[in-house]
Amino acid sequence: MSTPMRTGAAPTTQPAPVGPPFGFSASAGPQPAEVSARIADACRRRDRGILALPFTSPEYRDIQRKVDELLRQMLAVPPHFDILYMAGGASAQFALVPLNLLGQHGRALYVDSGHWARRAIGEARRYGDIAVISADASVIDSPAPQAALYCHYTSNETANGLQFRRLPATPLPLVADMTSDLLTASPDWSRHGLVYAGTQKTLGVPGLCIVIARRDLIAAPHPLTPRVMTYAALASAASRLCTPPVFAMYAALCMLEWIMGEGGVAIMQTRLTERAQAVYRCIDDTPALYRCATDSAWRSLVNPCFDLPDEATRQCFLEAAQTSGLRDLAGHPDVGGVRVSLYNGLSDQAVDALTGFMRAFAQGPRAH
């Protein structure tokens, strides 16, 4: 590299803010301004405000019905799949999937692709006979035949910045944790038996988990599965066996209507691909400063992860970014490095600000 590249040096000038603060957190996705304004209005409303809306009211039922219709339409969910709405996050599903699908003596296959897959595996082992395969291309392209009821994989490893570009080649029904990439592509329903995702990243706020399950797979749960967490019971009660997370459901509706208005999942996918390419271009154009350890065939579009040559340079990058209004770029605590999260609600300005900052940082102290 011929440019005077930054390594380890403290900034000599304070970087100028690049615009309004932009958040790149992996744990919670941003909402577009019109979506947050709509949610705020619904909170302020004196009559039938969303914070005190009874789940038994026709207004709430209408919200849930619209969420249902939008998900079915945008993800092309076939009629023999139920869509369930459950309180809590995806971690609860790590236990609820084996409880609902394996019955008392079932066996399942899990693909170990990183942090969240291992969390799912650890929990599933408490409830079933779990076989694990690695996410190496040679293994997932021709996994050994397994007498198992399903194959679980994590479509996007949020912590590791790794994403499945093609599905594991098993004949088993696939179960996918899509917490960080639901509504960024259309799942192949002929291969999937169940998909689940917490809504806080790509379609709303924390508190709601969406489970889309093939009806025949959820007919024989473990008898000790709590009733309010039994998929078949939820399906037959329109997910209203107990109070659903009303506010999170409304936020999901606002995000879904926004995504629909933007042009649906296809547009989210195109936008995400372009944004990820812009970030990876910055990384690849400056290999002496930015290093992405993920094999290019597995690079996540949603959470590009990279690192800098040493701790001091990384710290300098993160501090300068923070001062410039680019927040929450530190990698997952178990992985380290830098992580950019490009969830659906992120603005073009945020991505432009980040890539501009990355290029300027590579030029040296006074360039950004």
Question: Among residues 177, 268, 316, 357, which is the contact residue for ligand PMP, using CB under 6 A?
Answer: 177
Q: Is residue 312 within 8 Å of 177, Cβ to Cβ?
A: no
Catalytic hit among 68, 82, 116, 181:
116
d(CA 329, CA 337): 9
Contact mark string toward ligand PMP, 185..204, x via CB under 6 A:
-------------x------
Residues 128, 133, 134, 138: what is their CA dihedral angle, to the nearest 10 degrees? Answer: -160
Residue (93 or 239) nearer to ligand PMP, CB: 93
d(CA 299, CA 276): 9
Question: Among residues 179, 184, 230, 313, which is the contact residue for ligand PMP, using CB under 6 A?
Answer: 179
Residue (6 or 299) nearer to ligand PMP, CB: 299
Q: Supply the minimum distance, in Å, between the C-beta of residue 167 and ligand PMP.
A: 16
Q: Supply the minimum distance, in Å, between the C-beta of residue 123 and ligand PMP.
A: 11
Q: Which residues contact 18 (CB under 8 A, 6 or more apart)?
A: 324, 325, 326, 353, 356, 357
Q: Supply the minimum distance, in Å, between the C-beta of residue 182 and ligand PMP.
A: 10
d(CA 143, CA 236): 35
Tokens 């038994």: give the residue: 56
Q: Does 116 bind ligand PMP (CB under 6 A)?
A: yes
Q: Which of 345, 338, 293 is nearest to 114 (CA)?
A: 293
Cα 43 vs. chain centroid, distance in angstroms? 26
Coil, helix or strand at residue 222: coil
Q: Does 91 bind ligand PMP (CB under 6 A)?
A: yes
Q: Does 207 bind ligand PMP (CB under 6 A)?
A: no
Residue 309 gets which letter from DSSP? S
Beta bridge partners of 194: 175, 213
Q: Does 313 bind ligand PMP (CB under 6 A)?
A: no
Report the site for ligand PMP in 12-31 (rule: CB under 6 A): 27
Contact mark string toward ligand PMP, 131..170, x via CB under 6 A:
-----------------------x---x------------
d(CA 122, CA 179): 18
Kindly tell me the burial class for residue 179, based on how many C-beta atoms sit within 10 Å of its own C-beta (0-12, 13-18, 19 or more): buried
Q: Does 184 bind ligand PMP (CB under 6 A)?
A: no
Q: Supply the minimum distance, in Å, between the C-beta of residue 352 and ligand PMP.
A: 25
Question: Among residues 29, 32, 89, 168, which is the contact residue for ligand PMP, using CB under 6 A?
Answer: 89
Active site (annotated) includes residue 189: no
Residue (98 or 198) nearer to ligand PMP, CB: 198
Give the binding range for ligand PMP (CB under 6 A) out of 85-93, 163-171, 212-220, 251-259. 85-93
Catalytic hit among 68, 82, 181, 201:
201
Q: Is residue 209 within 8 Å of 93, Cβ to Cβ?
A: yes
Catalytic hit among 68, 82, 177, 181:
177
Report the site for ligand PMP in 37-76 (rule: CB under 6 A): none
Report the site for ligand PMP in 253-292 (rule: CB under 6 A): none
Count each helix (H run) and each strand (E run) in the chain, helices first. 10, 13
Q: CB neighbours (10 Å) of residue 266? A: 12
d(CA 180, CA 276): 14
Active site (annotated) includes residue 177: yes
Structure tokens at 284: 């690849």
Q: Supply the minimum distance, in Å, between the C-beta of residue 117 and ligand PMP.
A: 8
What are the angstrom distances between the C-alpha of 191 and each of 134, 298, 352?
19, 20, 37
Q: Supply the minimum distance, in Å, between the C-beta of residue 223 and ligand PMP.
A: 25
Q: Supply the minimum distance, in Å, between the C-beta of residue 316 and ligand PMP.
A: 27
Beta bridge partners of 212: 83, 195
Active site (annotated) includes residue 116: yes
Q: Which residue is nearest to ligand PMP (CB)?
A: 89
Residues with active-site annotation: 116, 177, 201
User: Residue numbers of the site for ligand PMP (CB under 6 A)?
Assistant: 27, 89-91, 116, 154, 158, 177, 179-180, 198
